[in-house]
Structure 1
């Protein structure tokens, strides 16, 4: 236990040191004048943009409204992906016929860049939030589905046979053997899905959006406001880390036995 805590402190120290080094390097590069401030803004200008946007907002919306718009789209799509991908993934791993029905569709669209089919979604669903949420949903569905299928396939057959020997029926095997065993893989898929959806967020806010952090970054790029772009990117990164930490906390509480073997 002591050794584990010691390693945890060392890892946190290393991570903190990396962040400090990056910030120092940022200060050094921008202060030396090696690159134009249009390409890499100074930390001071990014901070000033942050203060201005927090106080005055950006293009008619407050920072909370921009952040809320993005989080609303992201969370709605994420929840839809969870409630559809988890059961379908578990069923596909448990039943080869269901897998044969769903997997070809997932494997076909999964490698496609989101922008490749976003225009079709806009044509079918309009330019409102519906098409944006659908784009994020499609991006987030595949990682969860694949993680669930993989988790079921990795379960040792002895566990299932042992449960059946003790009198468990198919439903009991599914809920009391397969589902608990796949929980670590499900949470891995959830974390991966969230990251994929977040990277797709900018694409989702490219068409007919007037709010959102992704839109803020895109709009700032049109005016070469790299300071605002850096602020938006940093904000997205921090928000993404916080959301990931929430999932990791849930994983720790729900799968309390993980890592205690």
Structure 2
């Protein structure tokens, strides 16, 4: 009961913060504190949304721009899941495998994605292939490292207990190592999704003809702050929804997390 009351209070705090930001935005534009060229009114942003929704932007509908971004993100994210999770778990379980992959990951992980994006563009062109490769590299490291960390921190007596009961290495991996590491895996997946999303927007700003990031950049060339604000708000909402999907999957799959 107490926890439910706390949740209700937390929701109202969240609603209050959003309302306060909106009122501050409205007040700034209503009283002319800042030029509407720099900060458009909420009504102007809403009208920009309706216009793009009805007429599209530069030859593409709003849904086509959004779909272009989500397609790039989804393909790269799927590739990360099917490669980084198995390799990360295997590296955590086997020190020799970790010794092979760790230097590569640790070398490129601190690099800003846009620093090596120019190389990918030279190799693969400015199409979707280079963007997907960039997103894959950006998302691979967080998931790989989280998987390795999740396996390494497993208490040795769990594994020894399973061996004592006659479990094979395969059974230990799937019934002990993997379930215990799931919480860390989802932490890495959430981090990777956020990194990929921010990298996607940056990649579209560098070389693209569609997508939400490109829409914002193109609007900035014409000082269309209403479209810029709309694009930024759309990015934020989309990012929150994507993160909520991952969190829902985590609560469903790792249902024992946080329970004694």
| Distance of 2:207 and 2:236 partners within structure 1 | 24
RMSD of aligned Cα (Å): 0.9
Q: How does 1:1-261 map to 2 (within 5 A)?
A: 2-261=1-260
Q: CA deviation at 1:153?
A: 1.3
| Distance of 1:163 and 1:3 partners within structure 2 | 39
Q: How many residues align?
A: 260
| Distance of 1:153 and 1:121 partners within structure 2 | 33
SS at match of 1:206: helix
TM-superposition CA deviations, 1:188-239 (whole Å, max 9, x none): 1111111001110122213441110111011111111111111011001111
Q: Which moved more, 1:201-210 or 1:71-80?
A: 201-210
| Distance of 2:107 and 2:45 partners within structure 1 | 41
Output the TM-score relative to the length of structure 1. 0.97
TM-superposition CA deviations, 1:112-162 (whole Å, max 9, x none): 111111110011111210000001111111111111111111111110110
Q: CA deviation at 1:244?
A: 0.9
| Distance of 2:157 and 2:75 partners within structure 1 | 39
| Distance of 2:37 and 2:75 partners within structure 1 | 36
1:86/1:148 contact within 8 Å kept:
yes
| Distance of 2:102 and 2:116 partners within structure 1 | 19
SS at match of 2:126: coil
Q: Which moved more, 1:76-85 or 1:207-216?
A: 207-216
| Distance of 1:203 and 1:230 partners within structure 2 | 16
1:220/1:228 contact within 8 Å kept:
yes
| Distance of 1:222 and 1:121 partners within structure 2 | 26
SS at match of 1:30: helix
SS at match of 2:90: helix
Structure 1: give runs of 5+ residues left out of the alignment.
Answer: none
Output the TM-score relative to the length of structure 2. 0.98
TM-superposition CA deviations, 1:61-80 (whole Å, max 9, x none): 00000000000000100010
| Distance of 2:110 and 2:152 partners within structure 1 | 22
